């Protein structure tokens, strides 16, 4: 070390210093739900696996890295009994804080929901009356994350999501507890070999690239949730399952049903009748709650009434060369 270099102060040993430059001061806000709301349960479904680089929980704080219409933002949520204390960093910070109530379920209206139509739903609703469906209002990113999960195991999908965001996403601003990344701005510029290394199959990566070329038109058409389904299913490679998952994540659609899901119809059938059913049977069982079918599915998930596993788990396939 040069004799002209200054030693660090004794009160701040080098081993305790963060090598990153200091984070700018965040914008802070507070949200108080108008009704009793399980905010954590409204936000957590947006996380794509335990190691999602765009959302995590650390020491009682939910951290989110998003690409908002105003730019990348990091959002930190500390959920207390009757309020949410929020801090946001980045060019999209103001947008993220303005959108915060909807993320926490403020726009979800259970009016007209009749849980008494089945004892399991009635009992679970009684125990979880604070359930609300959150929404991100980020149509394109919700669509892309759903495409990652088409026809593969969650392990494969979440692993590919983690790799692509880490390699190609934008580093989240602020003092995140570990490096976090917002989704890429230019999905269509990701080369084919990067998709391959991440383990995403060509049909999914090609669907993402083609959708990215029409991102602006997709977002315009999907501003109205009522037209979102037709807007995205007109794209090659996007069907009913992907559209439903997009509407659940982006709009908190209380009636969306992910038809074609590998497990969902079995879970619904077993919970409501004690036996498996197919998609048609599931839709018939959920029909009395039309308008709130996704709410019923969430309550089934909270009920604890799960079909016993009778066989080995589905083994993920990996077609990458070694």
* Tokens standing for residue 304: 């604890």
Residue 125 lies in a domain: yes
In a domain, 117, yes or no: yes
Residues in the chain: 322
Supply the pTM of this predicted model: 0.87
CA 151 from chain centre, in angstroms, equals 18
Q: Is 34 exposed, middle or buried (0-12, 13-18, 19+ CB in 10 A)?
A: exposed
pLDDT for 26-72, tens place per residue? Answer: 999 999 999 999 999 999 999 999 999 999 999 999 999 999 999 99
In a domain, 35, yes or no: no
Q: Is residue 296 in some structural domain?
A: yes
In a domain, 82, yes or no: no
CA 46, 51, 54, 59 dihedral sign is: positive
**Has residue 267 been placed in a domain?**
yes
Answer whether residue 86 is part of any domain.
no
Question: What secondary structure, in 3-state letters, does 41-73 show?
Answer: HHHHHHCCCCCCCCEEEECCEEEEEEEECCEEE
252 three-state secondary structure: coil
Do 63 and 73 meet the contact criterion of CB atoms below 8 Å apart?
A: no
Q: What is the dihedral of CA 31, 291, 286, 118, to 10 degrees?
A: 70
Residue 7 domain-assigned? no
Q: How many domains does the chain have?
A: 1
Indicate whether 1 pLDDT > 70.
no
Q: Domain of 257?
A: 110-131+252-306
pLDDT in tens, 107-155: 999 999 999 999 999 999 999 999 999 999 999 999 999 999 998 888 9
């Amino acid at each position: 070390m040069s004799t002209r270099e200054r030693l660090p102060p004794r009160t701040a040993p080098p081993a305790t210093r963060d090598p990153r430059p200091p984070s700018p001061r965040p914008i802070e806000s507070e949200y108080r739900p108008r009704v009793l709301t399980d905010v954590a349960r409204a936000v957590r479904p947006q996380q794509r696996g335990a190691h999602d680089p765009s959302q995590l929980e650390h020491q009682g704080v939910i951290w989110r890295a998003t690409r908002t219409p105003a730019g990348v933002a990091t959002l930190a949520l500390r959920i207390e009994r009757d309020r949410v204390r929020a801090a946001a960093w980045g060019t999209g910070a103001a947008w993220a804080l303005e959108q915060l109530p909807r993320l926490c379920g403020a726009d979800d209206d259970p009016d007209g929901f009749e849980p008494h139509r089945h004892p399991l739903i009635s009992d679970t609703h009684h125990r979880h009356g604070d359930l609300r469906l959150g929404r991100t209002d980020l149509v394109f990113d919700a669509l892309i994350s759903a495409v990652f999960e088409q026809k593969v195991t969650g392990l494969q999908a979440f692993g590919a999501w983690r790799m692509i965001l880490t390699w190609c996403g934008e580093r989240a601003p602020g003092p995140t507890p570990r490096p976090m990344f917002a989704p890429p701005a230019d999905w269509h510029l990701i080369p084919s070999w990067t998709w391959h290394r991440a383990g995403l199959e060509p049909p999914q990566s090609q669907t993402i690239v083609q959708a990215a070329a029409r991102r602006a038109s997709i977002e315009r058409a999907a501003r109205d949730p009522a037209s979102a389904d037709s807007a995205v299913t007109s794209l090659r490679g996007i069907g009913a399952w992907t559209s439903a998952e997009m509407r659940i994540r982006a709009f908190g659609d209380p009636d969306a049903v992910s038809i074609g899901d590998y497990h969902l119809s079995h879970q619904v059938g077993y919970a409501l009748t004690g036996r498996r059913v197919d998609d048609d049977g599931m839709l018939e069982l959920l029909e009395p709650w039309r308008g709130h079918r996704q709410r019923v599915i969430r309550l089934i998930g909270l009920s604890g009434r799960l079909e016993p596993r009778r066989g080995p788990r589905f083994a993920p396939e990996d077609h990458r060369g070694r």
